[in-house]
Structure 1
């Protein structure tokens, strides 16, 4: 199994302490993790919607991630959720953890910390299994919580549990079952506290760059479209608190949509495996780029500049976007 052998003991101790405190962190402030950097920039790989035992080109995307990462040298990797299809994990001993994660992302360049969040498919399984430090003992790259903050020298990244916002998972789940332990019957309290914590954390942040990561789309030209539950108070908080980037998965594609009334930019990186759904709206207001296929994203941030690049399943550059704190976006 893949192991990341370069994390210092004090850093891992912080991670395990955070695990023990935060299986459900709705009644306390979001836990913060400091991730030290050994570079003049923050470099991140972002992939989502991937865990399919290597099928649907997951292995091919992983190979290209490893190839790009050899030169890019990311500080860590972000998963935007739906880590294990179709129904999450059955428990901490589910072999899918190794078969869809450890045995797929084997490149030396990918042996970095993975900061992950839960998607709706993850909630169909044993949620607490994905949150458990037992998985980190199996592969110490793995880190998953419902909501938390990663602090770096150049940016603060707020990971937000978006699945419980979605009404249909509660009211019209169809044949699917969801693991709502810790969320029901207090869903409204959970969401209210989460929004308060997010708003408070963003307001207190002194970071040059503020990034929010969630599984679900806020705005999308893809099959799922906009998530109406996130267009309300959640989006208002992002705009009011000067968030630069909202990064998500859920739609199995890569895309960029710009806000027309704020500096907020929406980036979807959900092309980790099954894609090519063929349902999209290219007339979507603010749409800058759309690719209905597999791929992943790199993010490079300095004190003054941010550069984002989408790659396809062959490692080809699909799209580049840059913005400066002192210049106009290109």
Structure 2
């Protein structure tokens, strides 16, 4: 067990604002992290979401295939699109679910890289600050989680956005669920500052590629449908700043929608464990390039001029792949 729980440390450069962010729930300025690209200025990574089920619902099988693909692509890191621990997040920093759903599941050598995590709605049902705590990084050096942050990696800027507080029903009609809103209230002030910071950061970005990562869907043919609050409040910011893709989880499927108006790719990678068979809504067939109602994950390999994206099923079979190209003369 010790060999599983003791991992090599892969350094990430954090600015001083990151440490201020841990102590102060006010956003002020989004934390900025740096993830070095390869020597040839390329980057490769995996994306998985909605996974934390202690190995159940094929989570271990997805993890196995992630390890194989991660080795073949020589990945630099992994992105999690949230709902990291079901059903109700972590109970605290000593919750064994951190080992049972993360440390002891993603054991392949290729996955011993940084994991950049956003929070999902199920994570907000537990002790949110446990997932944000540096104590977890001591337990496993891969773990990096903030509410919202920026990851700079040379040619790519990633903007991780805390989408759960944007959704009204979690506040107005939570049912039997209890949400941990410490660090979020007063809500309107939190959201106003968050959206302003995201807009400002996107405007300042000089990266060739700009990707935004959040838990909730914006455009989807899946179970949850479009998230109205994100359509109204976040999407206009994404369109105004000409991002390349919005990457999310929440719907337990694999999906690609290419918006015919803006050209933004809406990529859902929420197949890390439990999937919803046959749960699909009508969508414009010219925009819906992939909908897969099973478990799996996504990979991306990026250079200055192209991004190769692949979706895989639980057995490692390629479901869908395509290339996004960018003209160097206009990519800045």
Q: 1:63 to 1:16 in 2, by over 3 A?
A: farther
Q: Name 2:314's counterpart in structure 1.
A: 313
For the pair 1:60 / 2:61, whether they are aligned, the reply is: yes
Q: Tell which deviates more after alignment, 93-102 or 14-23.
A: 14-23
| Contact 1:3–1:141 (8 Å) recurs in 2 | no
User: Structure 1, residues 236-268: CA drift from partner, whole Å, max 9, x if none?
Assistant: 000000100100000000000011111211000
Whole-angstrom CA distance in 1 between matches of 2:74 and 2:23: 30
Kept in 1: contact 2:296–2:314 (CA 8 A)? yes
Please give the TM-score of this superposition, normalised by the length of structure 2. Answer: 0.94
Which residue of 2 is the match for residue 121 of structure 1?
122
Map of 2:89 onto structure 1: 88
Write the distance in 1 (CA, Å) between the matches of 2:233 and 2:17: 31
The alpha carbon displacement at 1:233 in A equals 2.4
Residues 210-231 of structure 1: CA deviation (Å, up to 9, x unaligned): 0000000001000001000001
Alignment-derived partner of residue 289 in structure 2: 288
TM-score by length of 1: 0.94
Gaps of 5+ in 2: none
Q: In the TM superposition, what is the alpha-carbon distance from 1:39 to its structure 2 partner? A: 3.9
Judge which range, 222-231 or 280-289, deviates more. 280-289
| Counterpart contact for 1:255–1:290, Cα < 8 Å | yes
The match for 1:2 among 5, 10, 13 is 5
Q: Which string of whole-angstrom CA distances, capped at 9 and with x for unpartnered residues, describes residues 40-59 of structure 1?
A: 31101000000000000000
Listed as ranges, the gaps of 5+ residues in structure 1 are: none
With 278-287 and 73-82 compared, the bigger mean Cα shift is at: 278-287
- Indicate the residue corresponding to 1:38 in structure 2: 38
Question: What is the match of residue 130 of structure 1?
Answer: 131
| CA offset digits 1:90-113 (Å, max 9, x no partner) | 000000000100000000010000
* 1:178-218 Cα distance to aligned partner (Å, 9 max, x none): 0001222x101100100000000000000000000000000
> 1:285-314, CA deviations, whole angstroms, 9 ceiling, x for partnerless residues?
621110000000001111010110000000
How many residue pairs match? The answer is 323
Do the aligned residues in 1 keep the contact of 2:258 with 2:265 (CA within 8 Å)?
yes
Q: 1:1-330 counterparts in 2 under 5 A?
A: 1-8=4-11, 11=12, 14=14, 18-22=18-22, 26-40=26-40, 41-184=42-185, 186-284=186-284, 286-326=287-327
Q: Using the TM superposition, name which of 74-83 and 35-44 deviates more.
A: 35-44
Contact 1:80 1:248 in 2 (8 A): yes
* Distance (Å, rounded) in 1 between the aligned partners of 2:267 and 2:308: 12
1:50–1:58 Cα contact (<8 Å) kept: yes
Equivalents in 2 of 1:69, 1:80: separation in Å?
Answer: 17
Checking the alignment, whether the CA contact within 8 Å between 2:26 and 2:183 is kept in structure 1 is no
